[in-house]
Amino acid sequence: MTEAQTIRLPDRRDPDADPVVITGIGMGASVGSDRETVWQAIQAGRSGIRFTRPADCVGSLKLPCAMVDWLPPKAPVLKSIRLCQAAADEALRDAEICWPDVDRDRFAVSVAAQFGDIDFLYLTEEQRSRAPDALAHPWHQQFLPCSVSDHVANSYGLNGPRLCHATACASGIVSTLAAARMIQADQADMALAGASDSVAEIILAAFHRMGVLAEAEDASSACRPFDKSRCGFVMGEGAALLVLEKRSHAIARGASIYAEIASGQMLCQAHHVTGLEENSATLEQLIRRSIDKAGWSYRGPQYVNAHGTGTAQNDVCELKALRGALGDQADGLVASSNKAILGHLINAAGSIELALTALAMRDNFAPPTMHLRDPETVGAIDCLPEFGVQMEIDRALKLSLAFGGHLVAMALRKCPFEAHQRPARPLSTSARIRNANAPGHLQRAA
């Protein structure tokens, strides 16, 4: 019996015998309009954060933000919809789907709600009527929380289950986890999962009023996760969508696999709408459950993509929880945050960071945490200050912590069948790589 035949005949009673896998990734953010451009910016530590401008239409506040400038104008369609559509197009191309072979009634869509993108509601009736595609995209089809999910699904005629979660900063991973569970429950063969978000004036002003946004003379280095001099988070824009399917399904159609979903767990802190527990007990329990479910109890993850907002409460809470859950295994654990480069994409943060985690596994490179010069120390966790490391990454953990107490974790592992793994790509020539013999020295990628 061949390897492929063995995989096509799993024990359906055991989800681990035929796990859900990632076969397509599409993304866009302030640093680039496609997957590889964004990933290369992360490798190189190139920030997409700048001060807001009048043309951004986010009000009179001049604050550091990671704004998307590459979208062509297409008024009056909301920015979140256009970002998500671009990510969906790339993800589906990347998965190399042969549409005549696809049952669109069994193709699910799980895309999180946009957060505050209501710019189109400010247009007058005259402005709406002059827009070239006003009839194709009327306002009442855009302001609902599920509008992004609906637009993406309808554009491809996907009639499978359609979900839209609104769990704040956890939404991207919650959407991915929900899609994976639909596939495991045999409600769908494939799914498009993730989120998009953009910066809206009312939300930017609200966070500024709360005093949680970073303010700095240099916008590009305003966000400093895990640094003792951190001063708050920075909002950002972007989208990421993943194509999910069972491993047997992917191999049967000849797809290559970025990573397998080893486990996904959710908990909630019954504590405070915006605050986190000082003792990190619930997050510690979530990490422990995720690792146990993934079967990693005796070895743990090799890389953790942290939520890492650059706020004192979040950063300390995460590090304490990792240390508490992993014990001595946390010493030397490699963890990093992408928000110093991309900003905080709110509802889309988890999806784009999960996608970057899968790319880190593909290319065996744990990316740096930029602007980290005076690290917060909790045990000996290595938060990769300004330089990433080349290392084999077979097991990775992604964390998201959200307002409302929502906590979610997803564990990824490499496909055990090397022939079906997504081939690694060379790192960017500008990648910031730590030299093992001289940790402070910048070693360029070969």
Alpha-carbon gap, residue 412 to 350, rounded angstroms: 14
Instruction: Set out the domains of the chain in order of their start, with CATH numbers.
Output: 3-252 (3.40.47.10), 263-415 (3.40.47.10)
- Please, which pLDDT band fits residue 439 given cuts at 50, 70 and 90? low
Q: Which of 166-170, 202-206, 438-442 has the highest mean pLDDT?
A: 202-206
- Please, which pLDDT band fits residue 268 given cuts at 50, 70 and 90? confident
**How much is the pLDDT for 273?**
61
- Please, which pLDDT band fits residue 144 given cuts at 50, 70 and 90? confident
Provide mean pLDDT across the span 25-49: 98
Q: Write the pLDDT tens digit of every residue in 311-356.
A: 888 888 899 999 999 998 888 899 999 999 999 999 999 999 999 9
**Cα dihedral across residues 406, 26, 233, 200: positive or negative:** negative
- Please, which pLDDT band fits residue 376 given cuts at 50, 70 and 90? confident
DSSP letters, 343-396, are -B-GGGHHHHHHHHHHHHHHHTEE--BTT--SB--STT-B--BS-BEE---SEE
Q: Write the pLDDT tens digit of every residue in 90-117.
A: 999 999 999 999 999 999 999 997 765 6
- For the chain, give the mean pLDDT: 88
97 alpha carbon, distance to own chain's centre: 22
- Please, which pLDDT band fits residue 259 given cuts at 50, 70 and 90? very high
**How much is the pLDDT for 223?**
95
- Is residue 249's pLDDT more than 60? yes
Could you tell me which residue, 258 or 216, shows the higher pLDDT? 258
Q: Write the pLDDT tens digit of every residue in 197-243.
A: 999 888 899 999 988 999 889 999 999 999 999 889 999 999 999 99
**How much is the pLDDT for 303?**
98
Provide mean pLDDT across the span 32-43: 98
- Is residue 134's pLDDT more than 50? no
Q: Write the pLDDT tens digit of every residue in 275-314.
A: 666 777 899 999 999 999 999 988 889 999 999 998 888 8
- Is residue 370's pLDDT more than 60? yes
Task: Report the run of H or E that residue 241 belongs to, with start and end.
Answer: strand 238-246
Q: Write the pLDDT tens digit of every residue in 78-89.
A: 888 899 999 999
Q: Which of 134-138, 201-205, 412-416 has the highest mean pLDDT?
A: 412-416
- Is residue 406's pLDDT more than 90? no
**How much is the pLDDT for 3?**
42
Q: Which residue has the tokens 């030299």?
A: 435
Three-class DSSP category at 386? coil
* 129 CB burial (10 A radius; 0-12, 13-18, 19+): exposed
Three-class DSSP category at 142? coil
**How much is the pLDDT for 136?**
54
**How much is the pLDDT for 162?**
95
- Please, which pLDDT band fits residue 17 given cuts at 50, 70 and 90? confident
Entry pTM: 0.91
φ, ψ (nearest 5 deg) of residue 153:
-65, -45
Alpha-carbon gap, residue 298 to 301, rounded angstroms: 10
Instruction: Give the DSSP letter of residue 77.
Output: S
Written as one letter, the residue type at 287 is I
Q: Which residue has the tokens 């992917």?
A: 250
Alpha-carbon gap, residue 31 to 28, rounded angstroms: 8
Share of the chain above pLDDT 70, in %: 85
- Please, which pLDDT band fits residue 367 given cuts at 50, 70 and 90? very high
In residues, how long is the chain? 446
**Cα dihedral across residues 369, 238, 231, 405: positive or negative:** negative
